[in-house]
Structure 1
């Protein structure tokens, strides 16, 4: 609507001036809140990739009906041993949560086969959602009916997101903020943009989970966070390009389509085909630069180096819409031109998220070229464009690694170098493999596997507290919850078990609390939640990595071992113990994961944990000057006493088979020479030594 109707928008009965004509445009024709800064030489019209339109809240015009689907996740018991999903965290949801979706009217009779003349909607270069949504909630058919419209979401006016994002930026100590705005990025700027996005998304999620959900209102923190950052220009690789994207590596993973947009890997946040216009000798033509394949169409993704990609449009998988032939326009035309020109195309594969059955994980699988294109009758009986893409040789493994891991799980393929299928001997419900494919060493130094911390009687515990009375589980909007009060008024974890930000100290529920073991405030108490393997490295001894992808902020493990009485420990024994966690060292906050006050871990008493004789997988995590894991002190009650535990969370999304590392911290200057060791982390920021 081009004018502000004000009070005239709801005329009283009998006062409506029928001679008045309002200048009204359809919602899909209104300009987005922000225009795309993407620079391109193309004269071909293309809707800006970033999008956000006003979400309709009523009154609804004829033919539009609000639908309120509900969702819930299955409860996962948090007994030790753990009973979790293959990876991720599955907390309980006590009440169903309504999500908004709007049913579009049917304009013609379904089942007929004719040319697709549907107009492009605001939301992507190719105009159609190739694979639906990528948030943390299930998708129902009624929600998929108007995918192009449903993504129209505004940042809530109830929350001052500008203040939140400025606090997040102020707490960052990674790099200069302005460098993210450069047209060409690098690994650092890409990582910085993704960390800011994920930190803001988690914070928005925490705020919205504490609200009473209004019917018809969708919680889309992924879109809201993306909107704020795009409006502020916090993105990198703004200019579209053919070929590799600086700072994005083959095998990188993403949990949200907005992340692809922020780093310049795939600009449309809904459409499956991204393209640019390229000048030829006579005219300009579109060329595809990237595609997302995640099951929305009739793709064949069985072969790791070959992808049969279907064109877009035609509603070929819809039971509720008119089925049509796909039309050679926009993204389909771009793929056709790329087939003739033979240019490189980035391929992002969407893989089912085992921790969230309705979600996807997007894996950048590298560069492909179209070898062949044709048209065939699809399952619907209408014409579908098909393209055979071949992966360019010499690239690191990505999708094929995922396929190999699945075969290891199913037992259809053997893990090379496997020594033991489970070095925990059943202590953990999820096995931990022991692998060595670099030399002849068969076993790390002898230790007893233990999944908990052991305090000697001589160590004083913290002050005792009464447990909470939240019998159904702690909720973020319950001001009477004692555990929420101890965490300064907000629960430290969002619903999927991801930590919101690094804190000086976190209080989890304990044995005296009335809440069940599936309570969201017991994240670190369920044992391992991903499939780990301890493996031998070439120059760093034994190390730790995961078969499963790990979401940024997700729980990794606890540091198990024996707490040492620091007053009785000789200085030289500490130096000789290679499996010790020293909380008395100086630790810097983990960039934007720090809280609003730039908090650092703060334990109320000196804490040393030795895992030399008793320990778990945490003892195998090596030091890195650019770590992907951070530690967080957690206090929880057991047997009427509060104990401090050291737990680890992911700083950012971690692909499978990536070594897990954290920063060992800094010792006082007088001890540096005594404890100095050569660092082999190979990070660009490596200081050469650690202590």
Structure 2
């Protein structure tokens, strides 16, 4: 993958639908190895798996609806006429994608696949490093951005976590886990998305114990999970965006975590992370 020429006016290098400006241009020097991408980059492990194959798309000739579209009928309607999320987060979300014959530009069931549409800005926070705010108000249920990165398996995620833990200079952990139960199974299917070196604007969104965004797993075109971020409430113009990085971590390893500076009433004091990636010393 080629690196994209970026500047403080647009860290995406012109590949997003809207420019993503950077408030502190000096920060560009600190992320010279970062590659901006609009979509997940599957590792070789996932490229070789059958579930990375393309999904069969719908055969709608015009706009999709819940009565005729095979994508919508499978699990139910995901969005209203304003493309605001109405689906519950406890069920799969299948959007129309590149393999569908519908009018993808106007399809009501294509939201995440359309990419970022809001005016977002990366800025320097007082005590949390970089953050992201929106330069316009956001309605509850609006899609904000996909959390993009490299899709990796458990073994690689553990290797990368250990690498970062042994190097204090790596101040951030960008690995998010996706756990799902398939076909009623009690066993979790696990994959991870790492935005350390490959990602998009969501890489800069901070954690909060009282977030204004929520994570929802969405699929379109193939079965590789996409972590979509939606507004969980109305967000005011200029307000910092945030989502929960995960449940509170195991108290036995709190000494290995970083402090949380969200300053909310319910702040746990620590940034959550997936403690299953920490190898036991026993």
Contact 1:583–1:603 (8 Å) recurs in 2 = no
Evaluate the alpha carbon distance shift between residue 563 and residue 552 of structure 1 in structure 2; reply closer, same or farther with a 3 A threshold: same
Matched with 1:635 is 219
Evaluate the alpha carbon distance shift between residue 609 and residue 544 of structure 1 in structure 2; reply closer, same or farther with a 3 A threshold: same
Contact 2:113–2:220 (8 Å) recurs in 1 = no
The 5-angstrom pairing of residues 320-335 of structure 1 reads none
Matched with 2:145 is 557
Matched with 2:196 is 612
Query: 1:319-373: CA deviations, max 9, x gaps?
Result: xxxxxxxxxxxxxxxxxxxxxxxxxxxxxxxxxxxxxxxxxxxxxxxxxxxxxxx
Asked if 1:481 is matched to 2:76, the reply is: no
Matched with 2:82 is 496
The 5-angstrom pairing of residues 110-121 of structure 1 reads none
What's the TM-score, normalizing by structure 2? 0.80
Contact 2:97–2:113 (8 Å) recurs in 1 = no
The 5-angstrom pairing of residues 501-516 of structure 1 reads 501-504=87-90, 505-516=92-103
Greater RCO structure (CA 8 Å; 6+ sep): 2
Alpha-carbon shift at residue 559 of structure 1 (Å):
0.9
Contact 1:461–1:643 (8 Å) recurs in 2 = no
Give the secondary structure class of the aligned counterpart of 2:226: strand
Structure 2, unaligned runs of 5 or more: 1-6, 181-185, 273-282
Matched with 1:572 is 162
Matched with 2:3 is none
Contact 2:77–2:87 (8 Å) recurs in 1 = no
Query: 1:203-256: CA deviations, max 9, x gaps?
Result: xxxxxxxxxxxxxxxxxxxxxxxxxxxxxxxxxxxxxxxxxxxxxxxxxxxxxx
Query: 1:10-66: CA deviations, max 9, x gaps?
Result: xxxxxxxxxxxxxxxxxxxxxxxxxxxxxxxxxxxxxxxxxxxxxxxxxxxxxxxxx
Separation (CA, whole Å) in 2 of partners of 1:625 and 1:540: 14
The 5-angstrom pairing of residues 363-442 of structure 1 reads 420-436=8-24
Evaluate the alpha carbon distance shift between residue 643 and residue 436 of structure 1 in structure 2; reply closer, same or farther with a 3 A threshold: same
Contact 1:629–1:662 (8 Å) recurs in 2 = yes
Alpha-carbon shift at residue 671 of structure 1 (Å):
6.9
Give the secondary structure class of the aligned counterpart of 2:193: strand
Separation (CA, whole Å) in 2 of partners of 1:425 and 1:461: 33
Asked if 1:583 is matched to 2:173, the reply is: no
Give the secondary structure class of the aligned counterpart of 1:653: coil
Separation (CA, whole Å) in 1 of partners of 2:198 and 2:30: 13
Evaluate the alpha carbon distance shift between residue 427 and residue 537 of structure 1 in structure 2; reply closer, same or farther with a 3 A threshold: same
Alpha-carbon shift at residue 427 of structure 1 (Å):
1.2
Alpha-carbon shift at residue 614 of structure 1 (Å):
1.1
The 5-angstrom pairing of residues 84-103 of structure 1 reads none
Separation (CA, whole Å) in 2 of partners of 1:433 and 1:496: 26
Evaluate the alpha carbon distance shift between residue 674 and residue 509 of structure 1 in structure 2; reply closer, same or farther with a 3 A threshold: farther
Query: 1:248-286: CA deviations, max 9, x gaps?
Result: xxxxxxxxxxxxxxxxxxxxxxxxxxxxxxxxxxxxxxx
Separation (CA, whole Å) in 2 of partners of 1:473 and 1:672: 51
Alpha-carbon shift at residue 568 of structure 1 (Å):
3.4
Evaluate the alpha carbon distance shift between residue 443 and residue 552 of structure 1 in structure 2; reply closer, same or farther with a 3 A threshold: farther
Separation (CA, whole Å) in 2 of partners of 1:603 and 1:634: 20
2:250 is matched with which residue: 646, 666, 669? 669
Query: 1:76-99: CA deviations, max 9, x gaps?
Result: xxxxxxxxxxxxxxxxxxxxxxxx
Matched with 2:277 is none
Contact 2:55–2:99 (8 Å) recurs in 1 = no
Matched with 1:531 is 119
1:685 is matched with which residue: 254, 266, 277? 266
Separation (CA, whole Å) in 2 of partners of 1:572 and 1:671: 17
Separation (CA, whole Å) in 1 of partners of 2:242 and 2:144: 11
Structure 1, unaligned runs of 5 or more: 1-418, 586-601
Separation (CA, whole Å) in 2 of partners of 1:528 and 1:512: 21
Separation (CA, whole Å) in 1 of partners of 2:226 and 2:247: 20
Evaluate the alpha carbon distance shift between residue 538 and residue 521 of structure 1 in structure 2; reply closer, same or farther with a 3 A threshold: same
Rg larger for: 1
Alpha-carbon shift at residue 566 of structure 1 (Å):
1.8
Matched with 1:448 is 35
Q: CA RMSD in A?
A: 2.6
Matched with 1:73 is none
The 5-angstrom pairing of residues 140-151 of structure 1 reads none
How many residues get paired? 248
Matched with 1:467 is 57
Evaluate the alpha carbon distance shift between residue 466 and residue 423 of structure 1 in structure 2; reply closer, same or farther with a 3 A threshold: closer
Contact 2:45–2:152 (8 Å) recurs in 1 = no
